[in-house]
Structure 1
């Protein structure tokens, strides 16, 4: 149906107009009304959806259970509990029997309205019913509601109650609890439920592992994190998303687990520029510059374009190694390679390398180059130059730079470029 296509594509107004046009020539049926009602509800246009719902009898269309459930579910999610009650009463009057989806939606509306006792009453009605029984969605709804309110004991009680009633918890049930513990930083508890889930024969998903890892990393549980990584490697159907892998590599680096971090990188299917930057910086930080350059060289083959950040990491690494000429050469090569100019971070790395070697005149000329190219030195730039002057025994120049930094916002202050030129002339 074209109306459904328009709605799913985000053209809600157009879908509504097409329906209004079509009903002038063809009598719409219950399905057509339900499709448009769902589209309107998904766009939070509840008044229009209810108006359309009340219009159905004039076209001799009686709302069916799907139509009612659509409205009740969406209104309940949005906290329209009173309207949910009215619709439920209307169903009873019209003789439309409610099903488990209806009751679950009513229960959810009560949870949203923070009426947990009433929600439990609805659950009991289902549990004692001869014709209807609560399903996993019903139980998961109330488990989530308790967890959202930090009532973990109550949530776990419902979780156990579900099993006692013969309704097996599913992936969603376990993920809710895993996420709750992970968000609290109780990664070990989250991991316990992950293992329990797998013992029950439920395959953990990518989100299960990702959420669990998040909690374990917050708790700094290195051994458990490494265990989870191995478990993921054993499952062909599970691949961590790029963002999660990047965070994992970064965390392992902070924990000084460089080999393990690099192993995660090698196992990634779709690393991005951020991945490469993290790995290059990590390798350089731990004295593995050659390997860092190998990763950089592999970017082209992976169709990953380096950025200024990538070059800055390498320039910083070369500077730490004392390879100043190579650092300057790479900074010059940057514009040819990626058509971007060095930024203030690039220049600060180069300034630091020059000042560490007490080449303060070259550092001054570099600051003049920055100004000429429209790259304004920042506080780090000036502080680096001040420290360089102090180390070179040029206290007078250091003091002049310090005074300039203090008076930079004053109208009468000497422009930095002129000050640097004067310092070079004085020398």
Structure 2
């Protein structure tokens, strides 16, 4: 009879790393030697810390948090080694990406029970997760306690600056920048990149350009491609395309490699300026330089074609990106669906929308809102009502303005059955707001849709 060789802890780590399916990886981790037959009693498997790290990371990335926490509890029972802090930093980050701030805080509080010393790294992980979850007040409260126990580093201040910039509070972001210098913490490229991006996002182009100069002249820090891309995007939006190209020349002089984001920004800017030939020249130059176009690059080109109403070229570019191994994302399809809807091509838009699952792309809330608005714009109210019902069933909702517009249009027609169907869907999504009440009650008064207005009000309250 064939006797299988037991899997060693080292080999388990290698096997776990190769497995792409987190469920299979979990099964292997929980039962590494299921078919070993021996007359001797099996010893308890001695997991390595690396195996724990790999399986926890796989489960966290797959958002299998209950299973991940089960492995953490098992890890806590290990007495042969002390877990690394980085494992917990990664888990806290997974919670942040999944918008689970309470779990992130809970794990941080439990770290001492794992015999793990919390340093500034784990504090920063919590700060970053709270920021990503939009829990600004909790983040600031955590930071107040943070400062009493550990010394903030440049990463801490970068997280704070980014949080203030996201809120549009640039003065407060600048105060954090001053505070870090007073505390002897030297800003880095990420610090300046965050501030420049914040200024650009708030249309403060002059301040952003000046900060870039100070970064080089005062602090001796070389800007990175991401910072240049932010400046180029804002310059293009302001109609300063020539200045954007000067920045590109500056990058080349300073031997800063142009990345896909920079190329994509320039391609998009040229399309907006009506310089399609120049946009294509940059795309070809990008390929020659060895910088492979990514989804963002192709989306910029496809958007340019859609703006020009050249949907045939947009579809050709869509096919080209697939042939070159670049997978379209939902943004790609939303761009084309939106362009078709704007031109009243609701049949083509709907065909593409319905084909999304076959293409391996799940429609998002913008997909539904775009096709819904497209049907409303073409006065295809029956199709719009069907999309609305499907949208609400999947937990999405149209914009308040679109819902009001549809009810308003239906109130002018005699199809009371369709109007009631739309109101039922809106009621499920809790979207029968005051202005919609006004429209429907006014219709009831004018056309006597129900025996009286009170009966209509009672039905709407039930919704």
TM-score (norm 1): 0.62
Contact 1:108 1:142 in 2 (8 A): yes
Find the partner of 1:140 among 290, 299, 310.
Answer: 299
Q: Does 1:104 align with 2:240?
A: no
1:174 aligns with 333
1:246 aligns with 404
1:7 aligns with 165
Query: Structure 1: where are the runs of 5+ without partners?
Result: 303-427
Q: Are the structure 2 counterparts of residues 199 and 231 from structure 1 closer, same or farther at C-alpha, using a change threshold of 3 Å?
A: farther
Per-residue CA distance 1:54-76 (angstroms, 9 max, x = gap):
22233232222332333233333
2:241 aligns with 81
1:284, distance to aligned residue in structure 2 (A): 4.2
Q: Are the structure 2 counterparts of residues 161 and 93 from structure 1 closer, same or farther at C-alpha, using a change threshold of 3 Å?
A: same
Q: Distance in 2 between matches of 1:89 and 1:128?
A: 17
Contact 1:279 1:292 in 2 (8 A): no
Q: Distance in 1 between matches of 2:461 and 2:391?
A: 28
Q: Are the structure 2 counterparts of residues 210 and 21 from structure 1 closer, same or farther at C-alpha, using a change threshold of 3 Å?
A: closer
Find the partner of 1:204 among 363, 370, 376.
Answer: 363
Report the number of matched residues. 300
Q: Distance in 2 between matches of 1:225 and 1:18?
A: 49
Contact 1:4 1:15 in 2 (8 A): yes
Q: Are the structure 2 counterparts of residues 7 and 229 from structure 1 closer, same or farther at C-alpha, using a change threshold of 3 Å?
A: closer
Query: Structure 2: where are the runs of 5+ without partners?
Result: 1-156
1:117, distance to aligned residue in structure 2 (A): 0.8
1:104, distance to aligned residue in structure 2 (A): 1.0
Per-residue CA distance 1:128-185 (angstroms, 9 max, x = gap):
55x4321221111122223223333433332333233232332222222222222223
Q: Distance in 1 between matches of 2:266 and 2:365?
A: 31
Q: Distance in 2 between matches of 1:194 and 1:211?
A: 10
1:260 aligns with 418
Q: Are the structure 2 counterparts of residues 227 and 264 from structure 1 closer, same or farther at C-alpha, using a change threshold of 3 Å?
A: closer
Q: Does 1:66 align with 2:226?
A: yes
Contact 2:388 2:398 in 1 (8 A): no
Contact 1:100 1:133 in 2 (8 A): yes
Q: Distance in 2 between matches of 1:14 and 1:224?
A: 48
| SS of the residue 2:418 aligns to | helix
Contact 1:245 1:265 in 2 (8 A): no
Contact 1:280 1:293 in 2 (8 A): no
1:301, distance to aligned residue in structure 2 (A): 8.0
Q: Does 1:290 align with 2:448?
A: no
Q: Does 1:157 align with 2:313?
A: no
Q: Distance in 2 between matches of 1:198 and 1:286?
A: 43
2:438 aligns with 277
Per-residue CA distance 1:349-376 (angstroms, 9 max, x = gap):
xxxxxxxxxxxxxxxxxxxxxxxxxxxx
2:251 aligns with 91
